[in-house]
Amino acid sequence: MAKWLIYAGVVLLLLGVALHYAPGLLSWFGKLPGDIRIESERSRTFIPISSMVILSVVLTILLNLFRR
């Protein structure tokens, strides 16, 4: 389990550095056609369905590559 925590920490560190130095890297997140955004006077609701599907596919591919 310690190895997985180290790997997760490295991935989060790399993601943080990438987002800090390239802020437009994830500008597409939440703006895809299947993402639901409901705004009223008192509340805002955001459901990123398409973005989460794409993120899930990418993470599944990456995890399968690292597993082998």
CA atoms within 13 A on the CB side of 37: 7
The rounded radius of gyration (Å) of the Cα atoms in the chain is 16
CB-CB contact of 38 with 30 (8 Å)? no
Calpha distance 21→15 (Å, rounded): 10
Taking alpha carbons only, the member of 50, 23, 15 closest to residue 36 is: 50
Q: pLDDT (tens digit, 9 = 90+) per residue, 18-59? A: 888 887 877 777 788 999 999 999 999 999 999 899 989 998
Which has the higher per-residue pLDDT, 29 or 64? 64
- pTM of the entire predicted model: 0.60
